[in-house]
Amino acid sequence: MTTPAAAERYLAEQFLRVRGASSKIGAIVATRVLAAQSAGGVRGHVAEIGVYEGRFFIALALCAQPGEKLIATDVFTWPDEGVADRFLANCRSHGVNRDDILVQKAATQSLTPDGYRKAAGGPVRFLHVDGAHKYDSVLHDLQLAKAALHPQGVICLDDVLHPLYPALTIAAGDWLKANPEFALFGVVDRESFASACKFMLCRRDHAQFYREALVASSPDLLFKHRAQYFGDEALIFSAPPA
Ligand SMILES: C[S@@+](CC[C@H](N)C(=O)[O-])C[C@H]1O[C@@H](n2cnc3c(N)ncnc32)[C@H](O)[C@@H]1O
């Protein structure tokens, strides 16, 4: 159940050199989720909504198994039109095979859940939602994620409890209330003011699998208490003090 060496190296040496917003601890936990899935025989594509220049995407990509696609969705217009080229150049220079990447240049509001699922071309086992941070957009992106998700897949939602995006947190709560088959199994703590929590979600039947896998793989990051969320018990991942 170990993270592939290429992903470990990228996280240790290169992650913070790629321009982006995600925290390193979030990426570490994500790669450990992917390692648990690989060890448990969960196969599927790996996807991110809001890839920007690829910081988080590359960490996910380096954990993919042969034949698994890497689905990169973004408007690719912010902060300028060169961002898609920088994304692909970063992927290339960190060892991600261009042929494995499906670049989807789109505002997600223009995608339907069915269209997104079909474009993915097969179940997605890990999906990072980090696109538009408005209430309606987050609800919509979570619906896209649900439509494409492998039955044992994980949705990782970025920037929950971020002071700049209070409505995103409300959207996460409302979506979970409306989709009770999903459980919150992990909360990744922030590292600084700007790197807010990530929520790790999966279908309720598989939450215990992820809790057990991550308790085994991540004693270095586990906070001693667990979060209680309307009957769900979520592990808390927190970086040890420097
Ligand atoms: C915070 S950045 C993502 C950071 C990236 N995940 C990382 O780890 O470095 C948000 C990204 O979402 C994209 N985005 C914003 N609104 C979007 C939308 N409606 N559809 C698709 N992408 C969107 C932006 O272009 C931007 O690249």
pLDDT in tens, 182-210: 999 999 987 765 567 899 999 999 999 99
Phi, psi of 107 (to 5 degrees): -85, 130
Separation of CA 131 and ligand 1 centre (Å): 4
10 lines ligand 1 (CB under 6 A): no
Ligand 1 center from residue 225 Cα (angstroms): 32
Query: Under CATH, what is the fold of the domain 5-237?
Result: Rossmann fold (3.40.50)
Question: Ligand 1, residues 28, 48, 78: which to mutate, most atoms within 8 A of Cβ?
Answer: 78
pLDDT band at residue 158, thresholds of 50, 70 and 90? very high
Any ligand 1 atom below 6 A from CB of 56:
yes
Q: What is the pLDDT of residue 194?
A: 57
Bond into 66 cis (ω within 30): no
Report which residue type is found at 135. Y
User: Is residue 228 over pLDDT 70?
Assistant: yes
User: What span, in angstroms and rounded, lies between the C-alpha atoms of 61 and 54?
Assistant: 10
- What is the mean predicted confidence (pLDDT) over 154-161? 95
Diameter over CA atoms, the chain: 45
pLDDT at 126: 98
